[in-house]
Structure 1
């Protein structure tokens, strides 16, 4: 059964936008891209300034679900996944995800200057790439924007920054080779844990470079390899070759894949 019938996204977004501190609401993830399954979550980005009125959010969550819901304060889930709530509304899974709009704006300026950082966050083994914050808004569907601020910011993001593209591709020119050299030493010691970690990091950097070359915004690790393999700049069979590395631990194949990606990104 298609769970879409259980949720009026526009109405919910308007109610969320009426909460103190909330600047606007943006639908993200597969629902925004149109690639969702019937059971996919609804990811609502709650863009706020200062501090959102979490008491009002708790009251709204209770009204929607009929039960007490743990609605966090900002920062409760870690430095990057800011906080929010997990709800079930009419049978649909609904995630409220806080996003500090001033932080998003600042990170967008970093993108334009070719700067990014990688933050540690539970649930993100590759790390949170800071440009994923602007990427969420760039690829999201704005549902409520009373002041028009999100719409203006999203419009600025219409063109992928050339400086960010260069920075991510440049990282792929040295980091995969560096970590694969370390993996070879680990393999000689029989340290399969370290080898697997090095392969994961190398492939993740290559995927980021391919997305940058194509002007595409990956917002996390989930599905990033399959998505990279569908980009026009990807080497043939990129996804299959990348995934195979985690069963074979073939460092020679990893080096060949790296070379093929760099050739495509030249």
Structure 2
């Protein structure tokens, strides 16, 4: 789908009551998309959102069977939207409550964050992800200028958030300890879960130290490994770590030793990046 077609579609979307602006997100916005990638359009709205009007527009551009959800139907953080096929291309409309996004930006500026349970996000959705999406996306329609104002505030990762993400490495240390207690039982599923969270925490800490946004788990390890100053062979060592989770207590212990080394090296790398 061409840029011109995307902007034309965005102009039609902001005419729907409740829609304040439209932002191109995901791999298309970052320039890392492939021919198989979906095109993500963030629909930034204020309640009440006219879902009937959105459904009518969806049927016009994506065919008579197209539909969009009510807000909140996809869960508390993904919110809602529609998976559509427009001009033969997969185009996802994804709702974002603009007031909630603004609160996310404010919390990030103050160094406050949490990971929230959400289907499809095993690490959890970081509430600063909303702010990061604005920072990393491409504004397609913004009649009120509110998205542009948020973009100005999020152009760089807030220092307080970066410091908080690095400080969050304490949880990775804690998880190493509790996971070791499961080694003698060969409880590989529990240990794998701990390891996944440990790796995610490290990836976020490295991005925080580097002053870079990381908005979800997809591609997080590769992105962290590509950061200047990241632990050597970070991605390859994470892959090897998970390959060792096979139920054998000796292998599980080795995996946790590798994870412990990565956590220590991540802390050192973050300290060097912050200088």
TM over 0.5: yes
Q: What's the CA shift for 1:237?
A: 0.6
Q: What's the CA shift for 1:243?
A: 1.9
The total of aligned residue pairs comes to 262
* Contact 1:7/1:89, CA 8 A, preserved across alignment: no
Normalised by the size of structure 1, how large is the TM-score?
0.96
Counterpart of 1:225 (choices 217, 221, 225) is: 221
Q: What's the CA shift for 1:70?
A: 2.6
Counterpart of 1:59 (choices 53, 56, 66) is: 56
Indicate the SS of the match to 1:169.
helix
Indicate the SS of the match to 2:224.
helix
Cα distance in 2 for partners of 1:101, 1:95 equals 18
Residue of structure 1 in register with 2:127 after alignment: 130
Q: 1:47 to 1:224 in 2, by over 3 A?
A: same
Counterpart of 1:262 (choices 246, 256, 267) is: 267
* Contact 1:121/1:128, CA 8 A, preserved across alignment: yes
- Asked if residue 192 in structure 1 is aligned to residue 192 in structure 2, the reply is no
Residue of structure 2 in register with 1:46 after alignment: 43
Q: What's the CA shift for 1:230?
A: 0.3
Q: What's the CA shift for 1:7?
A: 7.8
Cα distance in 2 for partners of 1:175, 1:74 equals 33
Indicate the SS of the match to 1:35.
coil
Normalised by the size of structure 2, how large is the TM-score?
0.93
* Contact 1:7/1:92, CA 8 A, preserved across alignment: no
Cα distance in 2 for partners of 1:51, 1:106 equals 18
Cα distance in 2 for partners of 1:254, 1:86 equals 38
* Contact 2:59/2:67, CA 8 A, preserved across alignment: no
- Asked if residue 183 in structure 1 is aligned to residue 188 in structure 2, the reply is no
Instruction: Tell me the alpha carbon deviations over residues 18-45 of structure 1, each in whole angstroms, 9 at most, x when there is no partner.
Output: 1100000000000000111012111000
* Contact 2:202/2:263, CA 8 A, preserved across alignment: yes
Please list every run of 5 or more consecutive structure 1 residues that lacks an aligned counterpart in the other structure.
Answer: none
- Asked if residue 215 in structure 1 is aligned to residue 220 in structure 2, the reply is no
User: 1:66-77 maps to which residues of 2 (within 5 A)?
Assistant: 66-77=63-74
Q: What's the CA shift for 1:5?
A: 4.9
Which ranges of 4 or more aligned residues in structure 1 deviate by more than 4 Å?
none
Root-mean-square deviation (CA, aligned residues, Å) is: 1.2
Residue of structure 1 in register with 2:13 after alignment: 16
User: 1:164-183 maps to which residues of 2 (within 5 A)?
Assistant: 164-172=161-169, 174-183=170-179
Instruction: Tell me the alpha carbon deviations over residues 209-264 of structure 1, each in whole angstroms, 9 at most, x when there is no partner.
Output: 01111111111111010011001131111111112211114111111111111001
Residue of structure 2 in register with 1:104 after alignment: 101
Cα distance in 1 for partners of 2:265, 2:71 equals 42
Instruction: Tell me the alpha carbon deviations over residues 126-166 of structure 1, each in whole angstroms, 9 at most, x when there is no partner.
Output: 00010001000011000000111110111111221111011
Residue of structure 2 in register with 1:90 after alignment: 87
* Contact 2:109/2:158, CA 8 A, preserved across alignment: yes
Q: What's the CA shift for 1:188?
A: 1.3
* Contact 1:19/1:57, CA 8 A, preserved across alignment: yes
